Structure 1
Amino acid sequence: MSVLFKSIFIVLSLLWAAFSWPYAALAEEADNLSDEAKKPMAEKVYQVAVDEHLPPFSYINEAGELTGFSVELFRRIAEAQQIEVAFHPMNLYEAERALEEGTVDAVIGMKYSVERSERFRFSESYFTTTDVMVIPSEAANEINSLAGLRGKTIVMQEDPVSFELLLNVRRVEFQLALNAKDSFQFLLMDRADAWLTNKRTAEFYLDQSGERENYRILEHISVPSDFAVAVRQGERDLLQLVNESLADMQTNGDYQRLYTQWFGLHPDSQLREMRNWIIFLSIVIGCAAVILIVIYLWNKRLKKEVAKRTSALAEANVKLEQQQKALSQADAFKTQIIHHLYYGILTFNKELQVTSLNERAKELLGFGRDELLEPADILGTPLIAKIVREYTEHVESNQQPAILSEEIEIEVNEETRYILYRAIPLQEGKEEESGFLITLADRSEAKMLEKKLATQEKMRALGQLVAGVAHEIRNPLTSMKTFIDLLPYKYEDVRFREELIKHVPEALRRMNKIVESLLDYARPKFPKKKMLGAGRFIQSVVAIIEPTMKKQQVRLSLDIEQDDPIVCDPDQLKQVLLNLLLNALDAMEEAEEKKLTISTERKDDITFVHVTDSGMGMDKEDISHIFEPFYTTKPHGVGLGLTLCYQWIKENDGDMQIESMKGKGTTFTIALPAKWEEENE
């Protein structure tokens, strides 16, 4: 037995020497670090701003010296890069302004945010902390979550990163301070119910003031934030020096030693020490088990297993509670977002039963927002019944996952609404479907606006047509007026009567033709498809706008085949062609050469109509948006003309394309069926 104890003692001695040697070397290396010779500094002195009230990262100690983890870190960076720096203690707000104005070259200890990244350039993060909530101990039962902050006053240093923690808290009041020290004083003077700051600074001020027992730090109400070095946008050299030094310090261990000096062991060092201690304790327990196995063989082993299992179960229980809380918060957050969306959302399972819906869906279906509904009530609405029926038929007729989208008109509470719905499948895995989802969008106001703008666009086109028609009518009217004025004096003249009979009826027929064409254009349109001859139809449209072309001195070139067939609604096609011709005239208003070409061609069962002008043309950006509603390149245009033309051509089973080059002109191509389908009967 004595030999066994001696062996154990020798093993423990060797282990203690092995584990204590790295830490002794680490301490010796830290002592030698301060004795290293300083490298010569560069001639330029970098001006660095630092928050003087942010302990333990940067603050002025009792001796009046600027110190802190961030300050010492930057000093080591300056020594490593052989640069000279001058620190300027100030508030963070003043530091940001000084960096923008160029008074300082860098600010250390600034939190990264998207808004700040647009103004400054940030180094790699050198410290990760969390912003926590500090409350009085007597308020711990009242304020234990974000919801408990409603109606409370929170004091904090102005920081866009910290504001994100409180975005979803209603009726919360903010009191902003210039620095963490002032905000802590507001909390001590009961001018605020809670204090939001980083955990390390909160612990420092609480310990320094002796108020640690009177206040609680809520670590579960927190948001992570990274400290970095911020420089001006053009300061690339300094930013590169900082990033290189941070990487070198992480590699050679300087960062870990500095971290240990200010905060204790670094997390990585803690893990290594914990691992070593676990190994050490395992060996001790093993040796003890060997010694005690003779006496407590089975009993000791059983107790050890029970203790290990109990500890594992306790840890698992704590982790499970944390995960459940996180899932509950995430679910509440998602539910809040879904219920406040503009679109209505409904989900169904495989058995076509409603599994969820948001408040907007209730409103679009004619129910109250807070009304409790049964699945049968929802499936009983005409809209949902129609969508479910059509989606089921659509799925049965498609092998792939089916997506159905359509805009329909319905009556909801004696009010006409236009609803755009979209039904898509829901999948649990890669191939297995678990149901489908329906989204509803109310397009009633958009429809009403489109109709109003369509009327305005049509009236504008009519105004241009009337101006041209008026000019054309004036010529026969002048001729008729001349004959009428001479009628009392030359009625007996046979030759005069012959000329009267010849010219006056012709002038009347010409005016009647112009008026009929104008009325035909202004008459309401109905989608009735007919078989048309392309040549004769295009000539009839050109006759309406020909007076305007003559007035603007536009040269017209027609290359059309009279017998090329077109199947479409003649009224809609006439309005499309008139709109394209008017747009062409507007585009050629300032062109040196004004030439308008209309041509047709037939390929298989499609007839193409090309309208080409020599106007100012368009660039690629305009072409990509030209068919979008409300997009126009004209100073006084509505931006709906080409949208309506494109829609009408689509309704007639056709297509419209555009080719244009800036300064070279534009070509619109209309493709329409040339064959009469059975569905048109």
Structure 2
Amino acid sequence: MMPFSLRLAASFICVILIAGILPSAASANLIDRPSRQINKLPAKKVYRIAGEKHLPPFSYINKEGKFTGFSVELFRRIADEEGVEFQFYPMNFYEASQALKAGKVDAIMGMKYSAEQSERFQFSEPYFTMADVLIVPKEATADIKNLTDLREKTIVMQEEPASFDLLLNVRRVEFQLALNPRDAFDFLLMERADAFLTNKWTAEFYLKRSGEQDHYRILENIGVPSDFSAVVRPRETELLSMINGSLARMKENGDYQTLYLQWFGLYPDGQLKEMRNWIIVLVILISCAVAVLIFAYLWNKRLQREVARRTAALAEANAQLEVQQQAISEAHAFKTQIIHHMYYGILTFDDTLQLTSLNERAKTMLGIDSQAKVVTEDILRQPHMASILQHYKYFKGRKEEQLFSEEITFEEKGEKRFILCRLIPLYEESGKKNGCLLTLADRSEAKMLEEKLATQEKMRALGQLVAGVAHEIRNPLTSMKTFVDLLPRKYEDPAFRQELVKYVPEALKRMNTIVESLLDYARPKHPQTQKLKAAAFIQSVADIIEPTLKKHRVRLEIQADPQLEVICDPDQLKQVMLNLLLNALDAMEQTEKKQLTIKAAKRKGSGVIQVADTGMGIDSHSALQIFEPFYTTKPHGVGLGLALCYQWIKENHGDLQVETEPGKGTVFTIILPTAEEEGEKK
């Protein structure tokens, strides 16, 4: 029986002889044909075939500028066999697809099969099957062994659906698309990508041509096998049938195997596959035997080195652990000192309201001995503490940033103490509430200072009020004194008596007005609050002043929420609104645009009424004093109108604010409680 190696050599020689004989025989047949027969042949049908011009060794333009390759030669043989003419158009696959859609070419050769493309074109039977490989730098080979190792890396590839669908299954992969394999390989050389995805033969061709075989490595078994086929338009069944039939005949008569041998070497038929498998098995057995021998020798050496390395690493880790423990201990001691010496008292409780920690300041504020061991019951016996902690149970199921914030008052050793308490929920990293933090701030000293400041402010305000009263009364008194001084000498003068009768009553009337306004300002009133529909109330006030507005050609606009309800004294609110509207009317007396706007809406749970005008505005200095008694910018004003408005709004638990700018108008904002707010307070 012939030895295995001799059989392999004999097979190889036979294949080479066949490859040489068949083309010669074909050439001889062509030469022996009479020239007259060739001249009498009918004109061949011409088909336009597109192919990728940068996909060696399948289809590419060589150094001589000729379009060649395995796919090109295969289709030339199909044309010769079928008696047709194929005109080849080298271009990128993307351009070829567009040309086929537009009917500029009749078919594309060498396209990978994909489900997406099969919906647009018809695929022939496959004439080549191959799997994608990766070209990666050799230094990165240890990190990249399969597709999953490509995460967070950039892969350059030709823009084709089959390869793109393969990489879509890998998460967090960045793509760099190129028009053709040559451009993609250039991107890899320029380090604009970490890997290049293509077929094995194209990869070997470009590596060999660039001389970079020593710097890059091809990783196989990356993707699933893909079929190379020709594609035609959906209705081009004649050309598709011709290509499929010719391919089947070429595989049967050996022409396909001969062409494959010319471009890729031995054709992987069944015998060659079996021989390759035997060689692989033999190499594996020999390698295993050698590996066992080497392993037995090196294992002991490696084990000794590994034990020494692990011992050194363990000693180093132990030293680092001791350093970390010392740092943690120092950080804990530092944090403890900070917490215990804070000005605020801090207490923490778990989810069942059991005390977990408190600082020294909290013990001092609660009157607990600093040396005593504190338990939850000691805290609950303190004034107000039990009721404060109940808020945690009340808000347990809610997402609140602060559960309780209030200043509590109690007496200790005959002195009044003011403690500001805040109860704040504590959360785990997952967001689950697991306890609360109670902070205590002693505001007793601050309260005492606030009372002193309030007393000083009252005295200042009283002095300002007295000065205003004196200033306002002095003017009419001066007029009356002048008439009294002149009375003995000019009593008989009729003109004097007429002036006396005219000015003295006016002066007395002005003094009486000042005194009554002052009494209204000082007299404590208890507003009769009730629920008001803001829109209807504003309309009733507008009806009163509307004739005056029309007389002065002022345009009134009302924008009121019909659902808004406020709580206030209607009489006081009406006086405030009328005062603001009349002031706005005076402010717009000299302006060209006269626009008065009243808005009412709900904002942050409160009712807001705004009165805006387009008047002259108020300067910043005057805006700070307009709510003070006896401050006025009007020639004949008393200066108590806005002061009374401010007082009435405050008595109704509201606020009055002003926004103004000289030359751009003024906006007065009335803030009042709503029915919902009153319900929540109760």
- Asked if these proteins are the same fold (TM beyond 0.5), I'd say no
Structure exhibiting the larger radius of gyration computed from Cα positions: 2
